[in-house]
Amino acid sequence: MIMIKIVVDSSCDTKKLKNTESILYERVPLTIRVGETEYVDDDSIDVTAMLDDIATKTKRSSTACPSPDAWLKSYQGADELYVFTITSNLSGSYSSAVLAKDMLLEQNPNVKIHVFDTLSAGPEISLLVEKTVELISANNSFEEIVSAINRYSSNTKLLFMLYNLDALISNGRLPKIAGFATSILGISMLGAASEEGTLKPLHKVRGTAKGLRLILSEMISDHFEGGKVIISHVYNESIALAVKETILKQFPGCPIQIMETGGLCGYYASKDGFLIGYETN
């Protein structure tokens, strides 16, 4: 029996696969360092404690991608591997995963493995994972699945609403000027993952109602027509439900999932922030 495995880094908020016992799944953790404390972004991470630690504002924080050895360990025991990483424009995770792929193929040239640079993070990666499961379950070949995911990824998007940009700015992911209004004026920022896999500010937003209108408007401008949606949030289920309700008013029957972020997305999105991955046409 061929052993098939999906491997992601912890920028993907999907903790486990649903109803797919025949497909192996593993999240390879990134690490968040706050002062001298390291938070390993596995299933046991205490995101609340990490955010409280960061909120003291007296400790420098940073992130580190998985080592090639960590990736290589996750690849063991499978005949086919589909690997998804956070965008290579924000992390070295993709490069590390590819290096591990090369090491694996030196050990076992018969393994089939593809590493996808998702050019995104969070719930958009979850969409790619779910599509991969669907294609595997339909008995597509390895080559067919890789090709199909590459096509599918051109029709998935990511939006995010952030109320605190400190982590993104301090780690060089956004310019300092982008955070001025959010920190001084209490204005949130609506942004998107660009086609190049960078973070692209779209709107400065004051008020929840305006934010919800802008989110739906951006989705529709991206040719969203009621496809699958995944919302991940940093302890802000109420706003996630409000986003869901807003979408359903326009697109009744739209399949929408809500989940909490893991440590990495929680670190960058900060408390109350949320991300939306969605299919487009």
Regarding whether 202 and 137 lie in a shared domain, the answer is no
Q: Does 43 fall in a domain?
A: no
Regarding whether 162 and 143 lie in a shared domain, the answer is no
Q: Tokens standing for 19?
A: 């109803």
| 23, 17 Cβ separation under 8 angstroms | yes
Q: Does 46 fall in a domain?
A: no
Regarding whether 122 and 178 lie in a shared domain, the answer is no
Per-position pLDDT tens, the chain of length 281? 899 999 999 999 999 998 788 999 999 999 999 999 999 999 999 999 999 999 887 888 999 999 999 999 999 999 999 999 999 999 999 999 999 999 999 999 999 999 999 999 999 999 999 999 999 999 999 999 999 999 999 999 999 999 988 888 777 666 554 544 455 566 899 999 999 999 999 999 988 999 999 999 999 999 999 999 999 999 999 999 999 999 999 999 999 999 999 999 999 999 999 999 999 99
Q: Does 55 fall in a domain?
A: no
Domain boundary among 106, 128, 154: 154
Domain boundary among 126, 154, 182: 154
Regarding whether 219 and 97 lie in a shared domain, the answer is no
The model's pTM is 0.94
Q: Does 52 fall in a domain?
A: no
Domain enclosing residue 70, as ranges: 4-31+65-154
Regarding whether 210 and 124 lie in a shared domain, the answer is no
Amino acid (1-letter code) at residue 173 = R
Distances (CA, A) of 94 to 81, 82, 136, 241: 15, 13, 23, 32
Q: Does 50 fall in a domain?
A: no
| 281, 155 Cβ separation under 8 angstroms | yes
* Nearest C-alpha neighbor of 101 from the set 72, 132, 59: 72
Q: Does 60 fall in a domain?
A: no
**Which distant-in-sequence residues (6+ apart) come within 8 Å of 33 by Cβ?**
39, 61, 62, 63, 64
Q: Does 207 fall in a domain?
A: yes
| 166, 180 Cβ separation under 8 angstroms | no
Q: Does 209 fall in a domain?
A: yes
CATH number at residue 176: 3.30.1180.10
Regarding whether 269 and 171 lie in a shared domain, the answer is yes
Regarding whether 194 and 73 lie in a shared domain, the answer is no
Regarding whether 81 and 200 lie in a shared domain, the answer is no
Per the structure, the count of domains in the chain is 2
CATH number at residue 129: 3.40.50.10440
Give the SS3 label for residue 170. helix
Regarding whether 124 and 184 lie in a shared domain, the answer is no
Domain boundary among 129, 154, 179: 154
Regarding whether 161 and 140 lie in a shared domain, the answer is no
Give the SS3 label for residue 12. coil
How many residues are listed for the chain in this entry?
A: 281
* Nearest C-alpha neighbor of 226 from the set 158, 152, 148, 280: 280
| 11, 121 Cβ separation under 8 angstroms | yes
Regarding whether 161 and 127 lie in a shared domain, the answer is no
